[in-house]
Chains A and B, each alone.
Chain A
């Protein structure tokens, strides 16, 4: 594609100065419309204005949302070179209950340009141009972004399509502006250029990302690792961190204290466990819940599903205790409610599928009054083995659910952000997002959350501090 064609495709340009900015920093972001006539940004379907978006066709409303999101990024960034984002709507991965909302990444990368802070190191194209203070790509787009054209249709997060309003009042729909902000973030620099699945670096050369990515187990940054070590690090759940100073310094202003599960008692199980928190029941508080752990056993194979009211023996075992139950058959809130009715003061749900970190516990029941968390299958099995040394009503194993005195939700004990490194590897998500344990939710987590950020810097978010670590 030559430059002339590109110019014809430019349908939207953020004109700086069109509105007064209280600005220090600013950058021009140009969206390059890569959709064919009649589709995506060019879809002529008539629509009603919604949430401050006055476009009268579907395509125009999409473009308006783009411009709105581009404005937010433009005010945050500082670059003398316009940033061109080649964008379109395409059918992306879909299922009935989940879908890829969008994807984005750098279209251009650069290294060893005049003024590059590090030699022999890849920089995302937009950042390289900013540092060079000139366009090394002759007007070519430097970012590629796609958004799901089928979202909300049958078998594609049915009924959960994009909300095109600009006011964030998206209800049960997916806020397109939030998704755009997220995807632009990837393109601007928030993405790993090293293949986490093979450990191979792009053209064998590290990127700035690899200098800041650090593995707490290997005690090495990704630049120092072999390919095999990077592969292992890419699935080292909650042991992969970001060492950049801007993020670490801003994190205490953004993140809350981390909910945590500490196990004490029998030596074989002592430690801090990875948890997923529940969307129902009380929040885990600093005061916390501490009690002995006892298992529910209501299946002949030794599991405890707690899908029915507990028998007298099971109820007696968990009264006043934190109950260990198994995932499966019924919803989480039913299990927790049954344990609560039997007198438990908390619940640990052991996953029945391998993988870490443990996801949260979905569901709702306003009558649940005890805290519950999910733990991994491996940790559940480890606990169950130790719990075989119990009596009818005692185990000698104690659990404390509380807020960490030393750790914030989403960072390690030294306050450095955890990066998303689930096991197994998730192509397109792993290593290029903040970890899901961050609380409050961050823009650059791999899953869209209720509270979509419109503010990219501390104390609201850590996306921009991370870009600053890269050189923005």
Chain B
């Protein structure tokens, strides 16, 4: 098991049992375990090819842990010579209130000029995997939380692991929700201009620091002692 060494992870450890929201920490050590843990793979690309797959350490290594311990999607998501990729990775169902922080790391290959794009979307519709079945359909995942390189700029995707954080909007009470990671690239395939290879790692959903305030300074003392022990 790969430890996720972010502040959020330690916060979550400290909070175990006290928060009502479902925590999520996924380091993609072995993606064959994902379906059993509630994750879903749906490829709506033109002439759909590969779904998300275990990271290929020969392209680049994971941020930490085993070199292949991340999840990846690439141009082979479509078997078409020229088409559109819409390749979904759906998280397990989470109980969220809003205000939680979603964090993830992503990157593409250094020197790549074939633009990649990653969208992170949210469904508030319970245990749904409804993303439609067209390259441009969104189904229940119409709420866009974040987009990495939204305009498909050739050098617009980070070429080293970069952390992105986004606060989940208010959901008016505890709501069953799913996150959708969508590798979405137009004008791609062997003959297309866009689409190369991206990695996704260290996905976590934790309460925001603001909700920790009520727990007082003692929490930070505990964190420090945890750090010293490791």
In the assembled complex, which residues on chain B have CB atoms less than 8 Å from the CB atom of A397?
A: 58
B79 at interface by CB-CB < 8 Å: yes
Which of B7-15, B48-56, B217-225 is the contact stretch?
B48-56
In the assembled complex, which residues on chain B have CB atoms less than 8 Å from the CB atom of A311?
A: 190-191
Q: Mark B63-107, 1 if CB is under 8 A from A, else 0.
A: 000000000101110011100000000000000000000000000
In the assembled complex, which residues on chain A have CB atoms less than 8 Å from the CB atom of B202?
A: none
CB < 8 Å neighbour of A392 from B50, B75, B79, B81? B75
Contact B109 A391 (CB under 8 A): yes
In the assembled complex, which residues on chain B have CB atoms less than 8 Å from the CB atom of A404?
A: none
In the assembled complex, which residues on chain B have CB atoms less than 8 Å from the CB atom of A395?
A: 56, 58-59
Q: Mark A389-420, 1 if CB is under 8 A from B, else 0.
A: 11111111100000000000000000000000
A300 at interface by CB-CB < 8 Å: yes
Interface centre among A302, A311, A389, A394 (most CB of B within 10 A): A389
A385: nearest chain-B partner, CB-CB = B50
Beta-carbon contacts under 8 Å, B177-206 to A: 190-191, 196-197
CB < 8 Å neighbour of B56 from A300, A302, A389, A393? A389
Complex-state Cα separation, A182 to B58, whole angstroms: 50
A314 at interface by CB-CB < 8 Å: yes
Contact B112 A388 (CB under 8 A): no
Q: A311-B191, A313-B190, A396-B59 are in contact. Are A389 and B81 (CB under 8 A)?
A: no
Interface SS majority for chain B:
loop
A179 at interface by CB-CB < 8 Å: no
B160 at interface by CB-CB < 8 Å: no
Interface size of B as a range: 20 to 34
CB < 8 Å neighbour of A314 from B49, B53, B57, B190? B190
Q: A300-B81, A302-B79 are in contact. Are A389 and B53 (CB under 8 A)?
A: yes
Contact A396 B196 (CB under 8 A): no
Contact A390 B81 (CB under 8 A): no
Contact A392 B58 (CB under 8 A): no
B44 at interface by CB-CB < 8 Å: no
Q: A394-B109, A396-B59 are in contact. Are A388 and B76 (CB under 8 A)?
A: yes
In the assembled complex, which residues on chain A have CB atoms less than 8 Å from the CB atom of B81?
A: 297, 300
Contact B112 A392 (CB under 8 A): yes
Interface centre among A311, A391, A392 (most CB of B within 10 A): A391
B114 at interface by CB-CB < 8 Å: yes
Complex-state Cα separation, A265 to B75, whole angstroms: 20
B58: nearest chain-A partner, CB-CB = A396
A266 at interface by CB-CB < 8 Å: yes
CB < 8 Å neighbour of B50 from A265, A297, A298, A388? A388
Complex-state Cα separation, A396 to B68, whole angstroms: 11
Complex-state Cα separation, A292 to B33, whole angstroms: 30
A265: nearest chain-B partner, CB-CB = B58
Sort A-B residue pairs by CB-CB distance and give the 4 closest, nearest first: A396-B58, A391-B197, A389-B56, A388-B76
Taking beta carbons and an 8 Å cutoff, which residues of A are in contact with B? 265-266, 292, 297-298, 300, 302, 311, 313-314, 388-397
Taking beta carbons and an 8 Å cutoff, which residues of B are in contact with A? 49-50, 53-54, 56-59, 72, 74-76, 79-81, 109, 112, 114, 190-191, 196-197
29 A-B pairs with CB atoms under 8 Å apart are A265-B58, A266-B58, A297-B81, A297-B190, A300-B80, A313-B190, A388-B49, A388-B50, A388-B53, A388-B76, A389-B50, A389-B56, A389-B76, A390-B59, A390-B74, A390-B197, A391-B74, A391-B75, A391-B109, A391-B197, A392-B75, A392-B109, A393-B109, A394-B58, A394-B59, A394-B197, A395-B58, A395-B59, A397-B58
